[in-house]
Amino acid sequence: MATPQNARNPAPHSDLIAGLYAVDVATPLADTGGGLDSFAVADRHGSRLPLMAVRARDHAPPRAALALLAAGPIDYVLTPLAHGAAAGPDGTRGYFVICPIPSGPPIWPNGAASIPTWNERTLLDDLLRPAAAALTRLADRTTHRAIRPNNVFRHQPGEPATLGMAWAGPPASLQSAVFEPPYVAVCPPSSRGDGSVADDVYALGVTMLTMALGRIPMAGMDDAAIIGRKLDLGSYAALLGDARLPPLIADLLIGMLAEDPEHRPHPAALIDPHSARGRRVAARPARRAQRPLDIGSTQAWTLRGLADMLGRDPEQAARLLRVGAIDTWMRRNLGDPGLAARLDEVTRAHVRRETSNDGAADSLLVARAIALIDPLAPLWWCGQALWPDGLGPALAEADRPGGNPARVEALRTLIESEGIAAWATLRPDRAETGAAKLAVGNPRGILRQRGWGGGMTALRYSLNPLLPCASPVLAGQTVVRITDLLTALESAAGRTEPRRLAPFDAEIAGFIVGRGELAQLPDLAALAHETDPVRIGALQLRILAGLQTQLHAPPLPQLAAWLAEAASPAIGVWRSRTRRLRAEAAFQELHQTGNLLAMLRLVDDPTSLALDAHQARAAIQDIAAIDRELSALDHGGPGRARFARQAGYEFTTAIALTALTASIVVAAIG
């Protein structure tokens, strides 16, 4: 693909990603970003390699696998060079992934209904061998999960193709149902997880088939119909239809499109297609029942179809499981009494353990049943499928302004009821599901943490390391790393609109916890329920001062002034007027230096506050003693009053005589 004329010398830009790359938002690049917006880039080190920046979508964070790709470039795949925040075309900041520009156009032009078919040699030499070599190298680090004809590029016929951008969004989130295994395609795009290299082999197989046919298989069918047909007939038969292929290509695709990921060849074997051809596993069609099982308005003829239908209607599925209708159908119509007995055992054990018959209990029962009925199926929960390592992007998509509160609640019940662990115990052979990896992050523990130190907000950031902080305080900025938070708050403090808000909110709190800064957990837990303005101001200052100290952040004078406004009620707690005035003056002086810790010591100094309180109590006691003595004088009786008057007369007379004597002596001397 030709490099844009000004891609190497874009307009000057203040944002540099990784200190090197300037995004030229005035030069968009068509059809290079794999479905995402892409722009020309200049390398400030003067590299002559044409580069592009692909922008991530809001609430669809880039893949955490970016960190695993730092080991260096891989031939025949657009590996990322850097990633970071920069200003987008509309002036708002976004998150970009930097990688080389493809050397040619996509092998399937966007919008094309058909293309000239590729012959066997072109399929093997231009597509299969280079893609297999790239996947073999990539498999040691991560998966690709974005192989499709409009995201594979080639300079010209006879040259090897290159796999396109796959890192600026959740894995497989831009894949259509045609190019994904049915057990992945059934999940919403944000819930598909990293998958395994076998999923990449499947997508490569469908891409080869597309180029061999010169058309997209099953074009015009919706996703549900595509998935249903694949589950019913098997992927190879469903995709091929009545078409015919060269024998070598057909044999390769039978293995690459196998339903069981373990039956698909490793990409290293595909580098030598003739050798891989001899290792193929014969496809076995799903066993078909004599009579279907009616579930609502649909019918299940196979175990694969049954699992899919149960997952989509958990309430009806749970009812059929509890009354034994499904295991009865397995015995009588499918001829599988062994599976029926195991399903009955799982159902009875679940019913004995369950404490309530609600939606979560139904979903847990259905998830266990599906894991037994179809071990290849994903986890179904509350009517939607997901792979466990897709939980993070699924939560990011649902838990946002304008998102899906019902989906958020479903994911909450999944975590609270330990549905992932219950599902994983019934399929321990599928290590690639990501259940073990997810358990390390302890999502249930984060969800149970009290106050702003936990809950769904903190979990959303914990499961999505590259998800920007969504606080309204930071509107217009993209903050992904904890080290950028204080700088962004300092910038926000210099603008009018954010200053109308509190300098700290639940999103910022969740972001801090999600990025692993746990020292502030007690203060975050307290802040969520605090109503005293004095305590709120002090807690906000303490949290951010702790971050400034831990991160060795520079002075933050504008943020300090903002926090000073919020913390000013804390100055009023000083009982001594002298100390209060002194603290107010020192507070004003300190916030100009931007040292949050020094400010904190003024409003949160237990020793000085205790001394101030002690002296205040002592003063109160002294005043009370004086009040008691005055009261005693007023109520001491007539005798005490006459004595006081007589003493007063005598004292006055003595003073007068003394003054008279002194005046006579002075006159005599003079």
Q: What is the pLDDT of residues 488-516, one digit of tens each?
A: 999 999 888 888 888 889 999 999 999 98
- 2 versus 570: the higher-pLDDT residue is 570
- Does residue 359 surpass a pLDDT of 60? yes
Residue 609 vs residues 361, 579, 588: alpha-carbon distances, Å = 53, 10, 19
Domain assignment present for 614: no
Query: In the predicted model, is pLDDT for residue 13 greater than 50?
Result: no
Q: Does 336 fall in a domain?
A: yes
Same domain, 152 and 225: yes
Higher-pLDDT residue of 667, 498: 498
Q: Where are the alpha helices (DSSP H) in 139-242?
A: 182-185, 197-213, 223-233, 235-240
Regarding whether 192 and 297 lie in a shared domain, the answer is no
pLDDT of residue 431: 47
Cα(425)–Cα(422) distance, rounded to whole angstroms? 6
Sign of the CA dihedral with 382 first, then 387, 391, and 396 last? negative
Are both 26 and 96 inside the same structural domain? yes
The H or E element spanning position 282 is none
Looking at residue 415, its pLDDT comes to 93
**Domain membership flag for residue 632:** no
Residue 5's pLDDT is 42
Pick the most confident of 203-212, 233-242, 395-404: 203-212
In a shared domain, residues 52 and 130: no
Residue 503 DSSP one-character state: S
State what percent of residues in the chain have pLDDT above 90: 57
Q: In a 3-state reduction of DSSP, which class is residue 277?
A: helix
Going from the C-alpha of 506 to that of each of 61, 399, 415, 543, the distances in angstroms are 20, 13, 21, 13
- Give per-residue burial for 500-533: e unless 16+ CB within 10 Å, then b: eebbbbbbbbbbbbbbebeebbebbbbbeebeee
Q: φ, ψ for residue 98 (rounded to 5)?
A: -95, 130
Which range has the worst mean pLDDT, 11-15, 177-181, 569-573?
A: 11-15
Pick the last residue of a domain from 396, 418, 440: 440
Task: Let me know whether 381 and 334 are in one domain.
Answer: yes
Here the CATH number for the domain that contains residue 167 is: 1.10.510.10
pLDDT grade, residue 657 (50/70/90)?
Answer: very low
Q: What is the pLDDT of residue 668?
A: 39
Please check whether residues 362 and 413 belong to one and the same domain: yes
Tally Cβ neighbours within 10 Å of residue 359: 17
Examine the pLDDT at 164 and tell me if it is beyond 70.
yes
Does 362 score more than 60 pLDDT? yes
Q: Rounded to the nearest 10 degrees, how much is the dihedral formed by the CA atoms of 343, 346, 349, 353?
A: -130
In a domain, 416, yes or no: yes
> What local confidence, expressed as pLDDT, does residue 670 receive?
43
Residue 488 shares a structural domain with residue 405: no
Contact 238, 229 (CB under 8 A): yes
Q: Residue 32 — very low, low, confident or very high, per pLDDT cuts 50/70/90?
A: very high
Q: Of 221, 244, 277, at which residue does a domain stop? A: 277
Token pair belonging to 227: 């998935």
Of 523, 525, 528, 550, which Cα lies nearest the Cα of 539? 523
Higher-pLDDT residue of 184 and 647 is 184
Indicate the number of domains in the chain. 4
pLDDT at residue 591, rounded to an integer: 75
The 3-class SS string of 340-407 reads: HHHHHHHHHHHHHHCCCCCHHHHHHHHHHHHHHHCCCCCEEECCEEECHHHHHHHHHHHCCCCCCHHH
Question: pLDDT tens across 509-560, in order?
Answer: 999 999 988 888 888 888 888 888 878 888 898 999 999 999 999 999 999 9
Could you report the per-residue pLDDT of 623-646, keeping only the tens digit for each? 766 767 777 666 665 555 555 556
Report CA Rg, the chain: 36
Considering the domain architecture, whether residues 90 and 133 belong to the same structural domain is answered as: no
pLDDT at 237: 94
Q: Is residue 44 part of a domain?
A: yes
Average pLDDT of the residues of the chain: 85
Q: Mean pLDDT over residues 393-420, rounded?
A: 93
Average pLDDT over residues 310-336: 93
Domain assignment present for 520: yes
Same domain, 88 and 132: no
Q: What is the mean pLDDT of residues 227-236?
A: 93
Sign of the dihedral defined by the CA atoms of residues 178, 180, 183, 185, in that order:
negative
- In angstroms, how far is CA 56 from the centroid of its own chain? 13
Q: Tell me the residue range of the domain where 314 lies.
A: 293-440
Is residue 568 within 8 A of residue 514, CB to CB? The reply is no
Which CATH number do you get for residue 63? 3.30.200
| Residues 130 and 269 occupy one common structural domain | yes
**What is the predicted pLDDT for the residue at 662?**
43
Q: Which pairs from 110-115 meet CB under 8 Å and 24+ separation?
A: 110/31, 110/150, 113/215, 113/219, 114/214, 114/215, 115/211, 115/214, 115/215
Specify whether 125 is located in the same domain as 270: yes
Query: Predicted confidence band at 312 (pLDDT cuts at 50, 70, 90)?
Result: very high
Say what the pLDDT of residue 529 is: 82
In-domain check, residue 4? no
d(Cα 456, Cα 510) in Å, to the nearest integer?
Answer: 8
Instruction: Choose among 14, 168, 6: nearest CA to 78.
Output: 168
Q: What is the pLDDT of residues 241-298, one digit of tens each?
A: 999 999 999 999 999 999 999 999 999 999 999 887 776 665 667 788 899 998 878 8
- Rounded to an integer, what distance in angstroms lies between the CA atom of residue 414 and that of residue 364? 8
Does pLDDT of 116 surpass 60? yes
Cβ neighbours of residue 96 under 8 Å, at least 6 residues apart?
Answer: 17, 23, 39, 53, 54, 55, 56, 83, 84, 85, 86, 168
Specify whether 148 is located in the same domain as 271. yes
In a domain, 113, yes or no: no
| Domain final residue, candidates 381, 416, 440 | 440
Q: What is the DSSP letter of 179?
A: G
The pLDDT of residue 162 is: 98
Q: What is the pLDDT of residue 44?
A: 77
Rounded CA separation 180/204 (Å): 10
- Alpha-carbon gap, residue 444 to 201, rounded angstroms: 34
Residue pLDDT, tens place only, 556-581: 999 998 888 877 776 665 556 666 66
Question: SS3 of 13, please?
Answer: coil
What does the pLDDT look like over 52-108, one tens digit per residue?
Answer: 999 999 899 999 888 777 778 899 999 999 999 999 888 888 999 999 999 999 999
